[in-house]
């Protein structure tokens, strides 16, 4: 099943051109509705990608070009001068290191905790299960913006301000409820009958879980991990109050500081966009790596087959 999926995925474009060349009949006839859908999809794709493109385009152009009357839609005559100017301030890499340590700590513990809880609520019947689910659903609604003063006071009294552990604790708690709910959906999506069948065939409960259910949960874990990563990487409000010292800034705080510093003079949009690009690019690369696993229908394939 898996090799077959991978093969069709890898050779999708070559298969299409091959069928054209040899005149083999296509699997699906071209319908007008499909063409309209494709055009709409491409227009929407351009609309959604454009701000990201515009950020990168602007980051390559000198401010003099950006503030001229006619915008330059392509980065002709561009250079990396804006990036050099940003790097020369020497504050980017410490912020990157801070963001990475906080985010990776959060993702690891969040997935571990949420996975355990998701197993408990979707594979066991126990007293208090319903209350826990109810609590999770309500807790994930608590607006962080209404709690951050209290969280600041607590971290302050624990001596965990300007500390990876302190902010990670808050991030894990902020992300865990939704991750539990998300993973619960994936665990429940794998029919318990598959596990029971394996147990009838002689596997232990643990064995059935790790040999049958766990591999089918990989897309769920990836999706939840991506969610947790995004939340922690992008978080702004809590970081603003917990990480006050400049050397403990995460990337969002660093970028805001950069924009503010630039706005005190006439904003240098080229440098601001270069700084934004530096903040966004690690995430975008990470995303393009995981996107295949995010969207490949491993579960769908297994359940259907």
- What is the footprint of another protein within residues 77-106 (CB under 8 A)? none
Closest CA to 238 of 114, 172, 303, 148: 148
Please count the residues of this chain forming the interface with another protein, following the rule CB under 8 A: 105
Select the residue interacting with another protein from 17, 159, 288, 305 (CB under 8 A). Answer: 288
Select the residue interacting with another protein from 126, 245, 265, 305 (CB under 8 A). Answer: 126
Give the separation between CA 66 and CA 61, rounded to whole angstroms.
7
Select the residue interacting with another protein from 29, 32, 127, 202 (CB under 8 A). Answer: 127
H or E element that contains 89 = none
Site for another protein in 203-242 (CB under 8 A): 223, 230, 233-234, 236-237, 241
Radius of gyration of the chain, Cα coordinates, nearest whole angstrom: 24
- Shortest distance, position 102 Cβ to another protein, whole Å: 13
Q: What is the DSSP letter of 125?
A: -
Site for another protein in 10-29 (CB under 8 A): 12-13
Applying CB under 8 A, the span of 77-85, 88-96, 208-216, 284-292 interacting with another protein comes to 284-292
Nearer to another protein, 81 or 199 (CB): 199
Distances (CA, A) of 193 to 117, 202, 212: 20, 14, 11
Give the separation between CA 155 and CA 283, rounded to whole angstroms.
28
Token duo for residue 100: 């990475």
The reply on whether position 286 binds another protein by CB under 8 A is yes
Mark 150-189 with x for binding to another protein (rule: CB under 8 A) and - for no binding: xx-xx--------------xx-xxx-xxx-xx---x---x
- CA–chain centroid gap for 87, Å, is 25
Give the separation between CA 203 and CA 196, rounded to whole angstroms.
9
């Amino acid at each position: 099943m898996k090799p077959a999926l991978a093969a069709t995925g890898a050779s999708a474009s070559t298969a299409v051109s091959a069928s054209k060349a040899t005149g083999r009949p296509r699997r699906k006839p071209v319908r007008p509705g499909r063409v309209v859908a494709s055009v709409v999809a491409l227009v929407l794709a351009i609309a959604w990608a454009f701000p990201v493109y515009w950020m990168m385009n602007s980051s390559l152009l000198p401010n003099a070009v950006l503030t001229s009357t006619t915008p330059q839609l392509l980065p002709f005559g561009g250079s990396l001068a804006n990036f050099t100017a940003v790097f020369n301030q020497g504050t980017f890499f410490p912020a990157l290191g801070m963001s990475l340590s906080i985010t990776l700590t959060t993702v690891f513990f969040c997935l571990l905790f949420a996975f355990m809880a998701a197993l408990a609520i979707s594979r066991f019947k126990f007293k208090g299960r319903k209350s826990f689910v109810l609590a999770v659903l309500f807790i994930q609604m608590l607006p962080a913006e209404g709690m951050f003063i209290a969280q600041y006071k607590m971290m302050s009294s624990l001596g965990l301000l300007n500390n990876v552990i302190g902010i990670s604790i808050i991030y894990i708690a902020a992300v865990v409820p939704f991750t539990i709910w998300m993973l619960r959906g994936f665990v429940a999506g794998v029919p318990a009958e598959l596990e029971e069948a394996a147990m009838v065939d002689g596997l232990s409960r643990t064995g059935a879980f790790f040999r049958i259910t766990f591999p089918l949960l990989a897309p769920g874990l990836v999706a939840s991990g991506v969610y947790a990563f995004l939340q922690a990487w992008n978080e702004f409000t809590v970081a603003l109050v917990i990480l006050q010292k400049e050397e403990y800034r995460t990337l969002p705080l660093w970028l805001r500081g950069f924009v503010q510093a630039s706005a005190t003079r006439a904003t240098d949009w080229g440098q601001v966009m270069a700084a934004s690009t530096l903040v966004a690019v690690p995430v975008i690369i990470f995303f393009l790596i995981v996107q295949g696993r995010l969207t490949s229908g491993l579960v769908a394939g297994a359940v259907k087959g």
